[in-house]
Structures are given as C-alpha cells and as structure tokens.
Structure 1
Amino acid sequence: MSFTISFLLLMFSPFQIMLAYSSGHPACHSEERSALLQFKESFVISRSASKFPFAYPKVQSWKLDGNGSDCCLWDGVECDEDSGHVIELDLNASCLYGSIDSNISLFLLVQLRKLNLANNDFGSSQIPSALDISFPVPDTFANLSSLRAITLINCGLQGKFPEAVLQLPNLQYLDMRHNPGLTGPLPASIGRIHSLESLMICSCNFSGVIPFSVGNLSKLSKLVLGNYSFYGQIPFSIGNLTELFYIRFALNKFQGFIPDSIFALKNLEYLNFQPNNLSGMIEIEKFLTLRSLKILYLSRNNFVLLNKSCTNGTDLPKLTRLGLAACSLSVFPNFLYMQNRLTFLDLSLNYLYGRIPSWIWKVSTEKLEFLDLSYNLLTGLDQPPAFLPWSCMSILKLNSNMLQGSLPIPPISTKYYLISNNSLAGEIPPSICNNSSFIVLDLSKNNLTGLIPQCLGNFSSTLSLLSLEGNNLYGTIPQTWVQGSRLRMISLGQNKLQGQIPTSIIGCKMLEILDPNNNQLIDTFPSWMGTLPELRIVILRHNGFHGKIGNPESSFSFQMLQILDLSLNNFTGKLPVEYFHCWFAMQVDREDRLSYMNAETSVRIQGRWIHVHYSYSMTMTNKGVEMEYKKILEILTVIELSCNKFEGEIPEYIGNLKGLRLLILSNNIFSVLSHHPCWVSMLGLSGEPFSNKCGSLKELPALAPAPATGDELL
C-alpha cells in the first residue's frame, strides 16, 4: 500500500490542518478550480452531517458558470493576492457527508497553508495497519515538508498512528485529542521533531511510558498527555524543556516521584498532575519556586504534601487555580494568605482539622468562585463573619466535616451550597432568603431545628435540588411552591414535619424525586401528583398516610415512576391495580442502562460554562435493615408497600411490570394464594406464600453504598 493512501486517510478527517508554502505564481488557477469542484462532487450535502447551529453548505456556491467561476470568490476559499493560488480552505461545519479516499483532489492544492474540515461527517478513517512505519519517509512525502500543524481532534481515527508523520522536519503543532480508536505507544521517534512546539495527546487509547527522547524537544512549550493513556515514571529529561509553559498529565497512571527537574522550568504557568499514582513526600514550597505559575493541580495522588512556613509573599506565584485535594494536608497552607487572585481552591479529602482560620476570609475575596473544603476534620469557623465574604462565589462545599455552631450564610452569589454531614445546630436563618441564585442547596444531616423558611419554595427560577433531610426541623412543609419551578429533587426526610404535602407542589413540573420519609405527616395518598410528568421516585415511608388508594386521575398517572415506597403507614383496602396499568416506566426492562440517576446543571466559572452532576440518593429499608444509597442505578425499579393494612388478592397484572427489581409486600393482610404464579418468582419474591416454583429469580443488581469520595458534584 502506498504511503499516499495511508497518509491521506489519516489527514482528511474532520480536523484542521495548516500548510505553509512560499511560492509565487500569477491568479484563480484552472487546475485548482477543477480540484475544488472534484472535491465538492465527492460528497453529499446533508444537514445532519454537521451538528452545529451555524452550519451551512458552503460548497453550494462553487460553480463553473458566469462570474461564479472564479474560485477565489467562492465561499470558504481564500487565495494569495499576488499568485492567485488557493492558500486557505475553511469548510468547517459545511454539511459534508462521505468519505475521503486516496485520490482526494485537495492534494493538488500545492500552495495550501490552512485547511479546516472540522465538524463534518467523514466517518471513521482507519489508519492502515499495513503501513510499515519502519521505512524511511517516502518520496511523495517530500511535497509536504512545509507542513507546520496537524490537528486531529475528535475525528474517529483508528489503528496506530504512522511514525513517519512524526518525522516531518518542520512540524510545530500536533493535536490528536479525543480519538479513542488510536492505540499503541508514543514512539521514541517523537524526539526527532526538534521544531515541535505543541504536543497534545489525550482521550485516546495510547499506552505505555513517556519516551525519554521527549526531552529532546527543546522548543516544546505545551505538553498534554492524558486521560488514562500513560503509566510509568515521568522522565527526568522533561527538565530539558525550558520553553514549557503548559504541562497537563491528568488522568493517567504515572507512578514514582515527581522529578526535581520539573522545578527548573521557570516558564511554567500551568501544571496538572491530577489524578495519578505519584508517590513520595514533597514540599509544597518547591512548586512555589515556579514564579510564573498560575494554575496548579496536584489532587488525588499518593504523595504526602509537606507544608512549611512561607513568609516572603512578594516572591510567590500569583495563582488563579489550585487543586490540592487528597494530598494528606493537616493544616491550611499559609501561603494562601498572600493569594489574592484565586478563582478556584480545592482542599477536600485531606486531614485538615480544628477551626477554619480567620485569615481564610481574606483570601481572594473579590475573585474566588469555587471553594471545596469537604471531607476533612474541620470543627468550626474562627471568627465567622455574618456572611461569608467572597463576592463572586458560585460553588461552596463544606460538607462531610464536623462543623458545629450555627449555619454559615454563603455569599448571595452562591449557586451550589453543600454543607451536609456536619453537626450544625440552630435554626435556618431567614437571611438565607436573600440568595435567590441557589441551584443546589444541601443542608442535610445536621442538627438544624425550627421551621423551614417559606422562601425556599419561591426560588422558582434557579433552585433545582433542595435537601434538608436528617435534621430536627418541625412545622409544616412550605405551602407555596411557585408555578414553573425548576426543582427536580425535594428531600425532607427524617425530620419532625407535620401536616400534609402541599398541593402547590403540582407546579414543580420538572420534579423527579419527592422524599418526605420518616416525618409526622398525616395525609391521604397524593394522587394529584400523578400529573407531574417527570416524577420518578416517591418515598412516603414512615408517616401517617392513611386510607384507601383510589383510582388514578388519568391513564398517564405517575407514568415515569420507578421507585415507590409507602411502607410503615396506615394505607388500607386493595392494591390499586389501575395504577399498575399507568406505570409505564416499570413495564420496560432497563437492563442496558447501567448509569446512575443524577441531575445535570450548569454554572459559569471564569467565563466558561461548567457542567455539574449531582447524584440522586435515597434511603431504603430491606428486611429490616435501613441502607443509604448515595447513588441510584437507572435500572432500579421498586415497589415497597410493607407494614400497612392492604388486603385482598395481589393483582396478577404485577407480572407485566417487567422492569421491577424489588417488590416488598410483607406485613399486610393479603389473601393466602392457592397457587404460585410464575411472576411471583420472576420478581424475586420468596418465603410463604411466595416460595419459588418457577425457576431462577430475577436478580437485583448490586447497589453497594458509594464510597466516601462524595456526591461527585464536579
């Protein structure tokens, strides 16, 4: 197979290429016009080939007749003003559908300097395994000796990348991100490209160690190797790359020590080693010798970060983002006191203990947008201000500590406030109502008392998740829930709430979870909630709900319901078979959906939209054992009706709920079955009168509680 075929299969996928040539020939050359028209005819114009909203078919303006025959005037084409040669072709998002073959006519555009074919649909171009990359660069490759930049982002490439491409003498820019079909090691020949200035390889399937020859790339300024591709030790030779300003080794399996040679790279502005398996003991002051450093991520490794006193603030780098999660820190690094430009600070999953020092309130008060102190051993706030001071705060995580005292009030700009799993006491102050920006408000598992502020039902434009469970709140559930609310989860369980579920919740059309379990509510079954189109989980366990469950209000009542827990109440009468007909989500087996239920929201940090995932959780009682599930599998469907006064026969229609994983009907007064229908065994019921007579039980998927790595907000 010729190299021309293999190289073109590599080159012309949805990516951007820049070619630099210098030549001089006179106006729109007929052979180049013909090459462009031939290229146009080799594709189908399809709107579905480009997903971007700004996409349109640029090549439709390419014609031979009339004034339109001048290819230099065609959409997406730019010619040299002196020579008339095509030097730039921008077909980004041009609705092109088809494949690129070895006869691609664009190869005839010998003066082309920049080519953009991104965001079209050229299928998966496979780099042929037949190419012998041990051969010298073929003669046909000499025509491309001026190639300066190759960008192969997200273009579906497969197979091994031909080493010959790494021998281009003038290559400066190589970007191969997001091609999971690319495999094999990073070849040692990468060190021969002495002109290389930027190398980015992540979200591919490369593997192996970083070759020592990388240290020969003396002009390299940006190095990105990431996303589970590489392992072994970081080579000491990386210290030779004195032009480096950007290193990203995130999401790999690197082991051993961070080489001291790294600290000779005085131009470094960005350094990211999180997470890896790096080990040893290292002083944080070493990183502070990198005076140009702006962004430092060291989180989630196996090393111990030693913290010594830093007194000379004038020589410290001015950091904007700092990630030191799971670095075995026991005290707050005091160099933070001198930082006034931080926008992101993550100190979670450490051993920070005692009170949060008062000087922390002065750190980057006008810049800080993200602060994570979760999963530490903090017990309180030293000299806490009435309102936490950061005027730009968006995400504040203080959860899973041992904080005592009253509830700290976050800045009014805060969108995500997580302070669950602490020992806070007192009432939720009315001043929390001053913040109408909340998207997630999680105050669960504390010792808070008093009434729930009525305003929490009025945050209709932003609030998505409200969790107040596991406190000592009393009174009634707020009566006003505004129409058009964006709430997806209301978790009020394990408090001392009384009264009824307010019918104004019917305005929360996006609601997926309602959980007021283990309170003192007295009400009948809230059949009116059946009209909520997204409702998936209803947990009314251990309250004073009573009476018969009547007929559904429509044939679509609770159509999305997957988990219903009515246990430990006083419901009576027969099981409502009419509802079983409405529960369409339970009638579908979801065995192929092994993801977890979560809410996806977005927040703007440093001018960029960040997608935030918040995992849904719940508490269930199975065989008398109460278990908390910090994550809920999408496939899980449960009907829990135990410890009520239901009577009569168990409807045969339950057998049509094919997705049902768990059915608990114990401690009711059902009629004894005279026979054993197969659906009883299929749904996993056991014990008299539900002994297994029909073969294998349908297994409930393992749902071990999530480890203490948190709610995975980010």
Structure 2
Amino acid sequence: MESSIYVYLLSILLFCHIIPFTHSFNSSFQPRCHDDESSALFQFKESFIIDNTFDDCYPKVESWKLVKGERGDCCSWDGVQCDEETNHVISLNLANSCLYGSINSNNTLFRLVHLHSLNLACNDFNLSQIPSQIGRLSRLTHLNLSFSSLSGQIPQQIFNLSRLISLDLSRYHHGLKLHNPSFKDLVQHLTNLKVLHLSSMNISSKVPELLANFSSLESLRLSGCALQGEFPVGIFQLPNLKILDLSYNPDLKGYLPPFQLKSALKSLILSGSNFVGELPSSFGNLAYLEELDIYRCNFTGKIPYSFRNLSKLVYLDLSRNHFSPSISSFSSVGNLTKITTLRLVGLNLTGEIPSWLMNLTQLSVVNLRQNQLTGPIPSWLMNLTQLSLVNLGFNQLTGPIPSSLAKLSKLENVFFWNNQLSGQIPFQIYNLTSLCNLELSSNDLQGSIPSNVSRLKNLEGLDLHSNNLVGSVDLSAFLQLKKLRLLILSFNSLTLITKISTTASTPKFQVLGLASCNLAGFPRFLHNQDQLEFLDLSSNNILGKLPSWMCSISTNYLDYLNLSHNLLTGFEKEPALFQWAQIRILDLRSNRLHGSLPLPPSSTFSYLISHNKLVGEVSALLCKLSALETLDLSFNNLSGSLPHCLGNLSDSLSLLDLRRNNFNGSIPSTWRTGCKLRMISIGYNQLQGKVPRTLAKCSSLELIDFGKNLIIDRFPSWLRNLQDLRILILRSNGFYGVIDKPQAKGFSNLRVIDLSHNSFTGKLSSIHFEIWDAMKVINASLMTYMGDSMGPNDWFPAGAYYGRYDYSMILYSKGLELEYTKIPDILTAIDFSYNKFEGEIPDIIGNLQKLYLLNLSNNFLNGHIPSSLANLKALECLDLSRNMLSGKLPSELSKLTFLSSFNVSYNQLEGPIPRGNQFDTFESNRYEGNKGLCGFPLKKKCENFEASPQERSNVVEDDDTGFVFKFKWMIVLIGYGSGFIFGVVVGHKVTRKKHNWFLKTFGRKQQHRSQRVNRRRSIS
C-alpha cells in the first residue's frame, strides 16, 4: 500500500515538472537552417522555371516553401542536407529536377559557402557558362554539373576547389571547353581527384602525363574529348583505377601494356580510339573486369588464351578490329559464362556460328553482324533462353529460319537481314508476342506473309524487303499493330491491298517502305500520317498527277521521299508547292513528269528528278538551296543556259548531273576555293566555250564528264592537279592540239580517260602512260563501285537503294554505247580513238596490267604493235583499227585469255594471225584491210608457216597460278570470264523488273550492300 502511494506521489511530482519543461521547449524551438542559407536556396529556386517536359524528371524544388512571417527549415527540404552540428547546408542534390534557365555569377547558389557536395546534373541551364563564382565554394569535395546544357570555357576559379575528389562535367555534345586553362592546368591543381568525368568536353590536347601519378584515381571518363597524341601507358597501371573510358577519340593513340595481377579495373572502354597492337597475354590478370569495349580500334593478332580467366565479364565488344578472322581464335570467349552482351561485329569471321556460344547461357544480346559466317542457323541457339536480341545480319547464312526460334520467350529483336536464308517464314515466329523488331530483308525467303502477323502486339519494326515473298497482302493486318513504327515490304512479288478508311485508327509510322508492291495509286491511309520521316513508294504503277494532299503529309517530320520509277505525269497544282519543312532527300526519278522544273524545299540536300520529260530553263532560284549536295536533272528536255550562280553552291554541292538535256551557252565558271564538287557530268548537251579553270578549285573531283558537247579548247592539262580524279571524259567535242607533257606527276588515280572524237594531235608520249598508277594495280577481290562509301541517306533502311545517287557514265565498246548506272572500281579504260595522234604505240602501255579497254583506232599511228600488250592480262577490248600500223601481229597476244573484242582492220599488217584461245573466236572482218595478213579466219593461207600454237600443243599454262587447262576447257571458261566488265556489267542498266535479281547477284555476292541503317536500329 505504501509503495503504491509512493509511486502515485512521484508521478504527480514528475508531471508537474514536465509540463513547464515542455512549454519552455515549444516556446524556444528554432529551425535548424540558417536564415541566409534558407533565403539563398529559395531565391535560387525562384531564378528557374520548372519544365516538366524533361524526360523522367522530378521537380524537387516545388516542395520548398517559405511561410510568410515564419522561418523555413531548409534542412528538411527535398535535396538539401545540413551538418548535424553546425546546421549549415553541406549538400545540395537537385539532379534531374526539371530546372530550366540561365545561371550566372549573381546567383544566390554561390552564397552557400559551406557546401561539400553540389549535384545539378541533368537540368537545362540554357547554354550558360560556368560562373567564375564557383570558386567561392572552396569546401566542395563533390561537384556534378553533367548533362546540364552548360557551355563555354571552364573558369580558372575552379582551381580554388582544391578539395575536390569527384568532378563530373560530362555532357552529350561539345559545349564546354578546356583550352585556357588547359587539361594539364586542371590536373595540376586538383590533385586529390578520385573521380574525373569530362566526357564530350572539347579538350583538344594530350592527356597529361601527371595523371599517371594520381594513385587514388578510381574513375576516369574522357569519351569524345578530341584528345590527341599518345595516351600515358602508366594510367592503366594505377592501383585503384576501376573505370577507364577513352572512347571516341580517333586521334588518341596508344597500346595496352602488361596488366598487373591485382589490377582493380572493372570497366575498360576504348571504342572509337586509335589503340593498336595485340591484346597482351596478361589480359587474364584483369580478374575484376566486368565491361570490355574496344569497338572500332585497330587491334590485331589473336584473342589471348588468358581471356578465359575474365570470369566476371558481363559486357564484351570486340567489333571492327583486325583480329585473326578464324572463329576458333575466339574460343576462349566460350569460357566467360557470365556474359550477357556479346558483340563481334565486322571481324570477317569465317566458318559456322561457333558452338562455344552454347556455354554462354546468360546471353541476352548476341551480335555477329557483318562477318562471313556460313551454314545454317543452329538449332542449339534456341537453348540460350535469356536471349532478347540476336543479330546475324550481313553474313552468308543458308537454310531455313528454325521454327524453334519461337521457344525463346524473351526474344524482342531479331535481325537476320542480308543473308541467303531460304524457305518460308515460320508461322511460329509470330507467337513471340514480346517481339519488337523483326528484320529479315535481303534473303531468299519464299511463300506468303503469315496472316497471324497481327498477333505481334508489341511489334515496332518489321522489315521484309528484297525477298521472294508472294501473294496478296491486306495492309489492315499491319495497321492493327498500334506500336508499329517501321514497316518495309519493298521488292518482293507482293500485291498490297490498301482499301482502308481514312478515318480508321492507324499506327503513326516513322518509316514506311512499300516499293514494288503493285500499288496503282497513293494509299489513302497516308492522309493521317503526320510523323513520317521516311516514305518509299518507288517502283510501283502509280499513275497520274501527284495530289496536293501528298505534298503536305508529315510536313514537320518527312526527311526522305522516294516516288521514283512510277508513272507520275505532273502535279495537281502547278507550280508544285512542296510543304515539307525538314525534307533532305526528294527522289522523283524515272517518271513521266512534264512541265517546268519544280523547286524543292530549301532544306533539300539531294534532289533527284532525272529520266522525266521536263522542259524549259532552270531557274536561278535553284542556287538559293544552300544545303544542296546532290542535283540530278539528267535525261530530261531542259534547255537554255545553265545558271552561272551554280558555282555559288561550291560550299555544299558534291554531285552535279545534267546529262542528256538541251542546255547551251557556257559552263558555269564561278566555282570557289574550297569547292566540294566530287562529280560534274554535263555530257550530251550543246554547251560551248572552254573548260572553266575555276574547276581546279574543286580539289575533290573524282569524275568529270563533258562528252558530246560543242566545247572548243586545248587539253585542260591543269586537271592533273586534281589528285582524286578517276574518270575524265571529253569525247565528241572540239578539243585540239598537242597534249602537253606533264611537268610533274599527275593523274595518278586516273582509271578511265576518254578523249575520242576530237582533234588532238602529236605523239602518244610514254610519260602519260607511265604516271597512270591506278591502271597498274587494282584490287579485284571484291566488286565495289564508285560512291559506295558515300551517299546522302546512309541512315535509311537498306531497302532504299533507289534513294542514293550512284556514279554513272557512258563508254563505247565493241561499237556499242554502254551505260554504266554503277561504275565498278576495277573498270579501267583508255579511248583515244578518232583523233589525229601519230607516231608509234609506246611499249610502256604494257605496264598498265589492269587495263580492260584500249581503243587507239582511227588515228595516224604507225610502227609495230608492241608485244608488251600481252602483259595486259585483264584486257577485254583492244581496237587498233584504221591506223598505219605495220609488221606482224605479236604471237604473245594469244595469252590474253579475257580478250573478247579485237580489231586491227585497215592497217598495213602482215604475216600469220596468232592461233589459240580467243583468237580462234574472232571473225575475219577484224583483220580486213591488211593485205599481208594470212591464216585463220582469213581465206588467205600462210605459206611455209610452221604449225599454229594450237596444233603444237593442246594446253595453255596460266602464268600466275601455274595451273594447266585443256584448251577445250578454256573455251568453256571464256563464256564466264571473258568480257565480264564490258559484257556482263552492261547489265547495270537494270530494269525495275530485274532490280531484285540485280541486288541479289551483284549485291550480296560482290558486297554491293546498302548499309543505310535507320536511326531506330541503334538497338542492334
């Protein structure tokens, strides 16, 4: 009882004391935040706009409040941290907080002098410079201003931040500069750094050697900084370095040193830099390495055996180096069982898809694109159940697409384009409901498109162009796929049914390729398309005038429009008014357009409108298209003088094709220094005057064609200064006089020269033929074409090959006019026919061992035919007719096993005609007019002449290989090999019906592969 009373009294006593204490505490409560810092933060907030349109941003400062008459506790505000003892603001983290506006030296932010950490990353400071007041925050240890749209030179006051251990000034594109002060100045002052991220800053200098002394450095990111010189090798050996990113610095050179056993490296990224040499055998010492990216470097040799020790590796990209192409040399990669991403692109790997991939059961992404892999797609690939992306494009894979592919339930992206896959598209593939991209273009797939394509509700991209698919396809099946953004069905044998209501709900396409789909008109569903960037309706049967509504679809987005190879006759409204504000490529070639030349929008850089029926003059307003790079008006009926202001486009114009019109007057002569012209083709017009010397300012010229005009001039010897010139055609003009001997080496890259049908005189100087180096050695292992490496639409889908301009020209061979719509790089030709050249044929012509055509006919040449011509082993056409040549036909010419056209008629030759090989196939008219010649195929027999080469031996030995062929077998080979360039290649003049065949025959087998990749394909 007493104890209970005691407890009760004690409770009362305590309660009486607690009440006044509590009242005292409440009445004296003080916010932690200092007044000046609270005010500074609030004013900082008020100096910016909150822009919620930023991706995934969260406006932290919206929660900051100052109640009138009361003090706000900024230490409780979102993103603010205060010191527990002093209550000063020591950390401000407003990363990705939707801030928009400029930041300057008066900003109240710089009153927070107690800050240790400042993070303003991923905001938009409207290209402000970093204020010099940043130097007031001298206590900072962590500063992050990355991806915040800052620009200009880094202020010197940043050196006051000597306590910094982490500095991140990265951004997406160059904006910030580190020139004066320099990179070297920065590292000299900030010696405590553990983290230094300056990616995409414009540094343009060497990497300071001093960085190799930063023993505490843990992370160094210098991607895309325009770094130069040799990278200090000691940085690789820093004991605490975990992350090193030097990517996309093409002028940064270096090599990999031996790695220490205890290296801490977790991420090594060198992609797009100029690192060379072999990977060191000690690579396996990088036991903690998780990411290795050496894409597009210059490494050579084999993958070291020690690679198998990189047991923690998750991401591996060895693409586009010069490693040994044997797939077996990469077998050590098969031991890296934790890899989730493997990229081996463009390594020329041979053989079948390697079986060691089976071991990599965690693979999510595998990319073996652009190799030379053969064989079928293996069935065991389906055991890699984690796969979300598989890219086997641009190989030589054969066989069907396995139906078991449908077992990969996580598969989202399939890229099998540009192979030789056959059979039907397995209908099971359309059960992959998670599929986002399906790329099967440029194969040999047959059959129809399965009707259950509409089940792929997540599909964003479908590309089936250039196969052998057949049947009628109802477009409505694709329009049910609401996420579909890319659809290409071009160049099959499909008939597209497009009877869809204009009010029907359709996907918002960005890329649409419906070329060669038997369309008879413009699909009406295009009315509702307002986000199209790419539209290809070429090679259809669209007849009549271009409707006005087509000229205004997707006005703010359309970048590429191809209506070529149709039956369009004009425009619903004249003059045509194109309303596409952003269009770059407009292709209207090969229609029936009549009337005057329509002007494209000012944004156009490629305007292709050849092979139509346009008339009238070319307006000088064309010269206002300051972005124009390619202009093709050829094969029309345009007339009048060319606008002389065309030369004003020197800063942009690269390809100019005006052939086959009725232009007159003089050639524009206002070309300026720095002219970017690579091709000028104005043949088959009525242009007069002289060749303008201002073309010498166009130092990048590769092709000049002035053939079939009314030009009267001497040989423009100053063209020798154009070091890239490969084709020169001056045929059928009024050129005259002696061709001067070159004072210095020139025309070294010349491959085709046509001076025929002019009035040139004098002797054929040996010096000219001596300097034409490009005709001596040519790599014929791959069939490539002029202009393959360039093109205005490289990012577009491969189905848009009509959208690029190909170098083209006309040559004469075997009495035929041959139009080359693509010019093989191996094509070499000399045509000096129908002039007044005299003297002997120089022996030195025999050095041009890769010459395909030599035509010296219809001149006044005399002397003997040099036996050195037998060295021209690639020669297909040789015409020496109608000269005054004498002596015997060299028997060595019978070694020219590719010779398909030979003419020495109307000379003064004598003696026996060589026998064997092609000489047994030439007709007698090739020798007529030579009274002294005898032997087959002439009726005149040779007296006292020993047995012909064929009679003496029935075999021919190849000088290069040593292989011996029976003569009859050689005749069989003639049908395949002889006349390839000047016979088979004539097929380059391709009709629309044959285009698919041409793409597969000359495209895949000879690597004429369009590599224009849609921007949406960056995932691959």
Deviation, structure 1 residue 639 = 2.5
Q: Deviations over 1:73-120 (max 9, x none)?
A: 77749xxxxxxx97652332398766456665625x4xx262435356
What amino acid sits opposite 1:269 in the alignment? E
Amino acid at match of 2:581: S
SS at match of 1:560: coil
Alignment of 1:282-321 (within 5 A): 282-313=473-504, 315-321=505-511
What are the superposed Cα offsets for residues 200-254 of structure 1, whole Å, 9 maximum, x if unpaired? 3323443322222223333322222232142211122223211222211122221
CA shift in 2, pair 1:339/1:217, >3 Å? same
Is 1:246 the counterpart of 2:437? The answer is: yes
* Residue 106 (structure 1) aligned with residue 297 (structure 2): no
Aligned-pair CA distance for 1:330: 1.1
Residues 239 and 378 of structure 1, relative CA distance in 2, 3 Å threshold: same
Opposite residue 318 of structure 2, the aligned amino acid is: A
Q: Tell me if 1:645 matches 2:857.
A: no
What CA deviation, in whole Å up to 9, does each residue of 1:115-174 have, x standing for no partner?
43535665345459999xxxxxxxx99x95x76554444456554446685587665444
Instruction: Note the C-alpha offset of 1:180.
Output: 2.4
- Map Cα deviations across residues 180-203 of structure 1 (whole Å, 9 max, x no partner): 23533331x555555443333323
Shift of 1:595: 2.9
Match of 1:687 in 2: 905
**Cα deviation per residue 1:657-714 (whole Å; 9 max; x = unaligned)?**
4333323233334443331363888684432426884566696533314113589997
2:462 aligns to what SS in structure 1? strand
Secondary structure at the aligned position of 2:645 is classed as helix
The residue that corresponds to 2:991 in the other structure is: 708
Partner of 1:673: 885
Structure-2 residue corresponding to 1:500: 690
- Give the conservation status (yes or no) of the 8 Å contact 1:61–1:75: no
Q: Distance in 2 between matches of 1:644 and 1:418?
A: 36
1:118 aligned partner, one-letter code: L
Alignment match of 1:328 (pick from 518, 521, 526) = 518
3-state secondary structure, aligned to 2:545: strand
Structure 1 position 481, deviation (Å)? 1.6
Tell me the amino acid that sits aligned with residue 198 of structure 1.
L
More helix per residue: 2
Q: CA deviation at 1:461?
A: 1.9
1:53 corresponds to which of 250, 263, 269: 250
1:539 matched residue in structure 2: 729
Residue 561 of structure 1 corresponds to which residue in structure 2? 750
SS of residue matched to 2:404: helix
Aligned-residue CA RMSD in angstroms?
3.8
Looking at structure 1, the residues matched to 622 and 301 of structure 2 have their Cα atoms a distance apart, in angstroms, of: 57
User: Are the counterparts in 2 of residues 289 and 316 from structure 1 also a CA contact under 8 Å?
Assistant: yes
Equivalent positions of 1:210-609 (< 5 A) are: 210-313=401-504, 315-384=505-574, 387-546=577-736, 548-588=737-777, 594-598=783-787, 600-601=789-790, 603=792
Q: Secondary structure at the match of 1:230?
A: strand
Q: Which residue of 1 aligns with 2:376?
A: 184
Alpha-carbon deviation of 1:439?
1.4
The verdict on how the C-alpha distance between 1:175 and 1:539 changes in structure 2, with shifts beyond 3 A counting, is: closer
Aligned letter for 2:694? Answer: S
The one-letter code of the counterpart of 2:291 is D
Distance 1:651 1:72, change over 3 A: closer
What is the TM-score when the length of structure 1 is the normalising length?
0.80
C-alpha contact 1:416 1:441 (8 A) present in aligned 2: yes
Residue equivalent to 1:46: none
TM-score, normalised via structure 2 length:
0.57
Secondary structure of 2:616's aligned partner: strand
The one of the two structures with greater contact order (alpha-carbon pairs below 8 A, sep at least 6) is: 1
> How far, CA to CA, are the matches of 1:506 and 1:59 in structure 2?
45
Residue identity matched to 1:581: E
Report the Cα distance in structure 2 between the residues aligned to 1:508 and 1:105, rounded to whole angstroms. 54
- Return 342-351 or 619-628, whichever deviates more: 619-628
2:324 aligned with 1:123, yes or no?
yes
What is the letter of the counterpart of residue 724 of structure 2? E
Is there any run of 5+ residues in structure 1 with no aligned partner, and where?
A: 1-38, 41-49, 78-84, 132-139
Change (3 A) 1:331 1:206: same
Counterpart of 2:416 in 1: which secondary structure?
strand
Q: How far apart, in 2, do the equivalents of 1:575 and 1:236 lie?
A: 67
Mapped to 2, the partners of 1:575 and 1:386 lie a distance apart of: 53
Q: Which amino acid aligns with 2:991?
A: A
Separation (CA, whole Å) in 1 of partners of 2:723 and 2:299 = 39
Query: Is this contact kept in 2: 1:628–1:705, CA < 8 A?
Result: no
User: Which one of 179, 198, 220 corresponds to residue 389 of structure 2?
Assistant: 198
With over 3 angstroms needed to count, the CA separation of the structure-2 counterparts of 1:263 and 1:625, relative to structure 1, is same
Name stretches of at least 5 consecutive residues in structure 2 with no aligned partner: 1-235, 238-246, 270-285, 863-883, 920-977, 1000-1007, 1013-1020
Question: For 1:675 and 1:643, how far apart are their aligned partners in 2?
Answer: 22
Corresponding residue number in structure 2 for 1:136: none
Partner of 2:1017 in structure 1? none
The one-letter code matched in structure 2 to 1:708 is T
Q: Distance in 2 between matches of 1:522 and 1:96?
A: 54
Name the CA shift for 1:605/1:553 in 2 (closer, same or farther; >3 Å).
closer
Instruction: Check whether the contact 2:314–2:339 (CA below 8 A) recurs between aligned residues.
Output: no
Report the counterpart of residue 12 of structure 1 in structure 2: none
Which residue type is aligned with residue 617 of structure 2? E
Deviates more, 1:389-398 or 1:178-187: 178-187
The amino acid that maps onto 2:786 is M
Shift of 1:521: 1.4
Equivalents in 2 of 1:649, 1:62: separation in Å?
67
Structure 1 residues 656 and 210: alpha-carbon distance in aligned structure 2, compared to 1, 3 A threshold: closer
> Deviations along 1:26-71, whole A, 9 cap, x unmatched?
xxxxxxxxxxxxx99xxxxxxxxx997387779759547xxxx5x4
- Judged with a 3 Å threshold, the aligned counterparts in structure 2 of structure 1 residues 179 and 336 are, in CA distance, closer, same or farther, namely same
Task: Decide whether the 8 Å contact of 1:282 with 1:305 is kept in 2.
Answer: yes
Change (3 A) 1:406 1:149: same
- Counterparts of 1:294 and 1:507, CA distance in 2: 45
**Mapped contact 2:508–2:530 kept (Cα < 8 A):** yes
Q: Residue type of the partner of 1:184?
A: P
Q: Summarize the Cα distance change of 1:673–1:118 in structure 2 as closer, same or farther, 3 Å threshold.
A: closer
CA distance in 2, matches of 1:270, 1:373: 22
Q: Aligned residue pairs: how many?
A: 639
Q: CA deviation at 1:458?
A: 2.5
1:463–1:486 Cα contact (<8 Å) kept: yes
1:640 and 1:373 mapped to 2: Cα distance? 37
Compared CA separation, residues 498 and 162, structure 1 to 2 (3 A)? closer
Q: Could you tell me whether the CA contact under 8 Å between 2:606 and 2:792 is conserved in 1?
A: no
Question: In the alignment, which residue of structure 1 is the partner of 2:934?
Answer: none
> Which one-letter code corresponds to 2:545 in the other structure?
R
Letter in 2 for 1:53: P
Shift of 1:640: 2.1
Question: Do the aligned residues in 2 keep the contact of 1:489 with 1:514 (CA within 8 Å)?
Answer: yes
Aligned match of 1:90 in 252, 277, 291? 291
Larger Rg: 2
Instruction: Compute the displacement of 1:373 (Å).
Output: 0.7
- The 5 Å alignment of 1:129-168 reads 144=337, 148-154=340-346, 158-161=350-353, 165-166=357-358
Q: How far did residue 444 of structure 1 move?
A: 0.5
